[in-house]
Structure 1
Amino acid sequence: MMLFESKKVLGLTLAATLLAGALTGCSSSGTESASGNAGNNVEVNASGDLLDTITQRGKIIIAMEGQWAPWTYHDESGELVGFDTEVGKEIAKRIGVEAEFVEGEWDGLFTGLDGGRYDLIINGVEITDERKEKYDFTEPYAFIRTALVVKNDNSDITSFDDLKGKKTSNSLGSTYADMAAALGAEVQNVDTLSETIDMVLSGRVDATLNAEVSFYDYLGEHPDAPIKIIALTEEASEVSIPLRKGEETEKLRGAIDKAIKEMAEDGTLTALSNKYFGQDITK
């Protein structure tokens, strides 16, 4: 306080120097919560082009849940890891910038993207007709099937059609919640995969839907969990990266598409998929 209260030029100069040093000392590659510094609106430069802004900024701000293994989660040391986390880092590197991750609940990711609080979402987002009306999507980088999971002793549900009139649990606004509702289920909203499984195990809901590979990962960590996959969608859905619509993101989408194509051709995507899923879901 004494520095700013003093009217001496030397005091003001020192205060400005200290402030500048504090600002430049902030990391641009760390992880922040949705309420952190990255929660401020992303300013687009005078050209109106988001890729130019990202290049000048030196970092790309990526939103994800951070609690959906093996896509994006924290390991035992607390580090943010996962398939999508590494995909994000790799895309940033190929664009020539660093990746900064912002974590938040699923239903808030798109709200934040709409409000310009970050540049894009990488979080196992499936392309749907409804989402395509609002967002521009990059080329897909993974393909997944939806699994229907129930408790081991459940004999009432044997197919997706049996969900009518039953209770399911999923994240608000997710593809899986929308699918369950369309099939006539009453959807209970939760935040994480673990919570959905807990709801099934406790009998508070009859079933849950999620990515097939996510359930396999859960069963790998909890081999004694009394749940079973009883149905899978026949066709795989496309996993992609949503961006705000408009000329602002056109060049950025092209740069990401180029990076994804290179990652597919040089085997990077396959290697990351095998690392986190134990199989290649990128083809």
Structure 2
Amino acid sequence: MRIIAKLLFAAMTLAVTAISVSAADLLDEIKSRGYIRVGMFVAPPESWVDTSTGEWKGIDADFTNAVGKELGVEVDPIPLTHAALAPALNSGRVDVIVGLYHTEERAKVIAYNKTAFWYGVDALVTQKDRNDIKTFEDLKGKTIGVVRGSAQEMEATKLQERFGLADIKKYDTGDTMLMDIKAGRVDAGIWWGFTFDYAVKQNPNYDLQLVDYMPPEYLGADTLPGVYFTFPKEGSASLVEAFDAKLEQMVAAGETKRVLESYGLTSDAYQTGKYAK
């Protein structure tokens, strides 16, 4: 009986320890180790890694590095595909993900901070010289591309219901989707408007054309989708609060405007979430 009691006590101790570890404060852990692991994806000017220097650059990098400085820790960016973001967060490979829209499906498995630090403007793009797609209404019977695991994948489903798309083709990366649009293997694609705007500013002869930016009413919303940081569901409450405190301070100080304009994004829609043609 004593042996059984000891075994039961040991099992209970292990269980309590496991609960304590799973509920450990992530902010304390990050400060203790001295760096925060940030899941990010490549989509200039929002986020990319300079291959010549290894430096993480872009809108998301500027905001994340400011938060990291406030916390007194280094920022370790980890490039991931969209489909791998949530699994990486929930497995503990990364502490936070930057640059995601809020969706109901994602909110079931990950936690969001409350302050959108800028707003996304999604765009319908097609081949530069294509003339048969001039509005969203022209998508009837067409095939469009989206990035797998992105919010645009869910947006495309709403467009399919609204305009009668023939098919939605899903890609692991934006580059492969854009290549298929340019080659005519898909008719059009839902892409990030800020990426399109940035590409055109960098190269006026860019070989894709903008059909239109996506009005928020197509998504059943009054405003454009906000861009947020996301965190594990458990043990991240104090980390979320720390991020929001710094982000609120930056937004109030006009840092959103300064950062976005430094990348050539001057439309008020990126700062306010209000889009008007």
Shorter-chain TM range is 0.7 to 0.9
Superposition pairs of residues 108-187 of structure 1, within 5 angstroms: 108-122=84-98, 124-138=99-113, 139-184=115-160, 185=165, 186-187=167-168
Q: Which residue of 2 aligns with 1:82?
A: 58
- Using CA pairs below 8 Å that are at least 6 residues apart, which structure has the higher relative contact order? 2
1:211 aligns with 2:200: no
Residue ranges of structure 1 left out of the alignment (5+ in a row): 1-43
> Moved runs in structure 1, 4+ residues, more than 6 A?
none
TM-score of the superposed pair, with normalisation by structure 2? 0.78
Deviation at 1:136, TM superposition (A): 1.7
Residue ranges of structure 2 left out of the alignment (5+ in a row): 1-19, 217-223, 273-277
CA offsets 1:93-151 (integer angstroms, 9 cap, x no match)? 112211111112221111101211111101x2111222223222111111122111112
Which residue type is aligned with residue 78 of structure 2?
V
Q: Secondary structure at the match of 1:149?
A: strand
The partner residue of 2:226 within 213, 220, 238 is 238
Residues 194 and 265, structure 2, Cα contact 8 Å, conserved in 1: no
Q: Secondary structure at the match of 1:241?
A: strand
Q: Which residue of 1 aligns with 2:201?
A: 220
TM-score of the superposed pair, with normalisation by structure 1? 0.76
Deviation at 1:204, TM superposition (A): 0.7
Q: Determine what percentage of the aligned residue pairs are the same residue.
A: 27
Which residue type is aligned with residue 44 of structure 2?
A
Deviation at 1:218, TM superposition (A): 1.6
The partner residue of 1:72 within 47, 51, 63 is 47
CA offsets 1:20-58 (integer angstroms, 9 cap, x no match)? xxxxxxxxxxxxxxxxxxxxxxxx968611111111111
Q: Secondary structure at the match of 1:224?
A: coil
Residues 45 and 52, structure 1, Cα contact 8 Å, conserved in 2: no
What is the rounded CA distance, in whole Å, between the counterparts of 1:214 and 1:48 in structure 2?
Answer: 38
The partner residue of 2:178 within 175, 183, 197 is 197
| Number of aligned residue pairs | 237
**Are the structure 2 counterparts of residues 244 and 164 from structure 1 closer, same or farther at C-alpha, using a change threshold of 3 Å?**
farther
Residues 70 and 246, structure 2, Cα contact 8 Å, conserved in 1: yes
Deviation at 1:161, TM superposition (A): 4.0
